[in-house]
Amino acid sequence: MRLATWNVNSLRARLDRVVAYLAANQIDVLAMQETKVKDAAFPAAALEAAGYQVAHIGLDQWNGVALASRVGLADVATTFPGQPAFAKPGNEPKLEARAIGATCGGVRVWSLYVPHGRALDDPHMAYKLAFLEALRQAAGTWLAANPNQQLALVGDWNVAPMDTDVWDISAFAGATHVSPPERAAFAAFAQAGLVEVTREHLPEPHTYTYWDYQQLRFPRNEGMRIDFAWCSPALAAAVAEVRIAREERKGQGASDHVPVELATS
């Protein structure tokens, strides 16, 4: 199986690129984040015409996650147990479209868009940490129930776990993505029994998956590594290759993230 994760940063704006990428790289399952489209307007027809079954959760023009699979798509879930809601000041808590899971070719795949956090003292940071902890607990429960299952938690984690996952750590002083609480919440998935396979296969420092549109970040290679794949031991053992499709950041209409691919033997 060839499984990829990609924050597409508006699926309707990148649809042609996504369809072309799927065909050119023979992707079996694509997990997408930041589709930025409501379910009613999700462009399923184009993906289905390319040979994929699709599942999507999009509640408004923000967030949104999807799965496209040509190896089956079963038991779709649009939340995980304990997934927290977010409440803006003065408003009722709202469950956001940040997680979707399905079984594809025997692998339980979750497409995840972890909250940004916004600032270290922002309520969104507490929400981010609560989201990560609830997801960790859910994953631990799934693994305890079936230690031999093939499970992949993939997506945009909005955490740079190591200093070399950003172009210049001094530029992130007092910022999100690199703070000790965020890094601890990310590392805790190993304690739940998962393996982060992209680092295992691509350990090189300053290997990025995201470049901001501003200030010529991509031409200067001033990026961040924030897209990852936490896998169950059974699936991690089967991963033979990991590739970051850096070329997808080039050209007109590119997302600010690039696909990260896992190939199993």
Would you list the domain boundaries of the chain? Answer: 2-264
CB contact set of 84 (below 8 Å; sequence gap of 6+):
93, 127, 130, 131, 134
Distance CA 178, CA 141 (A): 27
Class of domain 2-264: alpha beta
Distance CA 103, CA 92 (A): 32
Q: Residue 207 class from Cβ within 10 Å (0-12 exposed, 13-18 middle, 19+ buried)?
A: middle
Distance CA 222, CA 203 (A): 18
Give pLDDT tens digits for 230-246: 999 999 999 999 999 99
Give pLDDT tens digits for 6-49: 999 999 999 999 999 999 999 999 999 999 999 999 999 999 99
Q: How far is CA 66 from CA 75, 214, 240, in A?
A: 14, 27, 25
Contact predicate 75/68, CB 8 Å: no
Return the DSSP state at 39: G
> pTM score > 0.85 for this model?
yes
